Amino acid sequence: MTERCGACGTDGVTNSTGRFVSRDWLRASELKTERDALAKAIRDAAVKAGICRAGVALTGPQLLMLCDDMATALRPNV
């Protein structure tokens, strides 16, 4: 159930410890979880394709390059 903070007027919820958590923070946390899941899926696909080692920490640009490398490898030679 959503409530409004008395001090700042933002919408949010009170968690199990009694701490008020804003809806913006909850949304940011949800987006981070989704981003991390996408990054893991890209890395796992690259590992299965044999172009990346398992357990390697990758940055956003490196993940984008892996996507490009996989797309190039899948494209038929013309």
Instruction: List pLDDT tens digits, range 2-49.
Output: 666 656 656 666 666 667 667 776 677 788 888 999 999 999 999 999
* Separation of CA 48 from chain center: 20
Strand order in the sheet with 11-14: 3-4, 11-14, 20-22
Number of compact structural domains in the chain = 1
Degrees (nearest 5) of the Cα angle 48, 51, 57? 90
pTM strictly above 0.75: no
What range defines the domain where residue 68 resides?
Answer: 3-74
> What are the phi and psi torsion angles at 11 (to 5°)?
-85, 150
